[in-house]
A = this chain, B = another copy of it.
Amino acid sequence: MTTSAGRTASRGRIDKRQAILDAAFIVFARRGYAQACVQEIAEEAGVAKPTVYNHLNDKETLFRHALTAVTDAVLAENLSVVERLRNPGPDLRATLEDVAYRLIRMCCTKRSRSLRWLTYAQVARFPDLIDLVLSRTSDQLCEALADRLARLSLSGHLRACDPATAAEQLLALITGPMEGRSRLGTRTASTAEMHAVATVAVDTFLRAYGAPENR
């Protein structure tokens, strides 16, 4: 932790910290926490092993920093997708299908899958990471979606309902089937399959929550 963010005393060469964190996530995602050895991370970052320990104290902080960084990135992407519901076009169903499809694509990203997998896999060793990752992804995403659904309900596009549970269920209808179809990320789903899941999820959602004219 020589110079963290302030950046007055510049590094001897370029800033290798980011390269190390990126490499750490890649290697952790490839091997898992226990199997990932620091040597491999150093090689992936194009750096010597002691340099890794210069920037991050030990393997655990390396893991935490790498994971939180990716978590923030994934959250930002997800939120930007949900934000599309702020201006629903005349065809609500089409807009929802578009959002659902984009969310599915996000969840199938290598980065997103690795993030879910790593947090789930290390729940025994780092139980607090579950809370951090889950609150910054699922919870905030659900919250944002609930906001949009509430407005849609007020404007008469959806029937009166509890927006929080509606959001929770819509997300479940989207991510649940995809998790099974993709074998927890082992199999890569086709575009057609993702479209199909999105369509059918929105269909049941609108049957349950749509205003009579959208049902």
Please report A residues at the B interface, Cβ cutoff 8 Å: 30-32, 34-35, 117, 119-125, 127, 130-131, 134, 138-139, 142, 165, 168-169, 171-173, 175-177, 180, 183-186, 200-201, 203-205, 207-209
Instruction: List residues of chain B with CB within 8 A of the CB of A123.
Output: 117, 121, 184-186
Closest-CB distance, A128 to chain B (whole angstroms): 9
Beyond A131-B186, A165-B200, A209-B204, is A31–B124 a contact (Cβ under 8 Å)? Answer: yes
Instruction: List residues of chain B with CB within 8 A of the CB of A127.
Output: 186
A134 to B182, CA, bound (A): 11
A185 to B139, CA, bound (A): 16
Contact of A171 among B175, B176, B200, B207 (CB under 8 A): B176
Instruction: List residues of chain B with CB within 8 A of the CB of A168.
Output: 176-177, 180
Contact of A138 among B32, B180, B204 (CB under 8 A): B180
Q: B169 to A124, Cβ gap below 8 A? A: no
Contact of A172 among B130, B139, B176, B207 (CB under 8 A): B176
Contact of A130 among B34, B121, B125, B186 (CB under 8 A): B186
A124 to B201, CA, bound (A): 30
Instruction: List residues of chain B with CB within 8 A of the CB of A177.
Output: 168-169, 172
Q: A130 to B183, Cβ gap below 8 A? A: yes
A204 to B171, CA, bound (A): 13
Instruction: List residues of chain B with CB within 8 A of the CB of A169.
Output: 173, 176-177, 200-201, 204
Instruction: List residues of chain B with CB within 8 A of the CB of A171.
Output: 176
- A131, A168, A171, A200: residue with the most chain B Cβ atoms closer than 10 Å: A168
Closest-CB distance, A126 to chain B (whole angstroms): 11
A56 to B62, CA, bound (A): 36
A208 to B124, CA, bound (A): 39
Instruction: List residues of chain B with CB within 8 A of the CB of A173.
Output: 169, 172-173, 176
CB-based nearest B residue for A133: B184
Beyond A169-B204, A177-B169, is A125–B35 a contact (Cβ under 8 Å)? Answer: yes
A186 to B35, CA, bound (A): 24
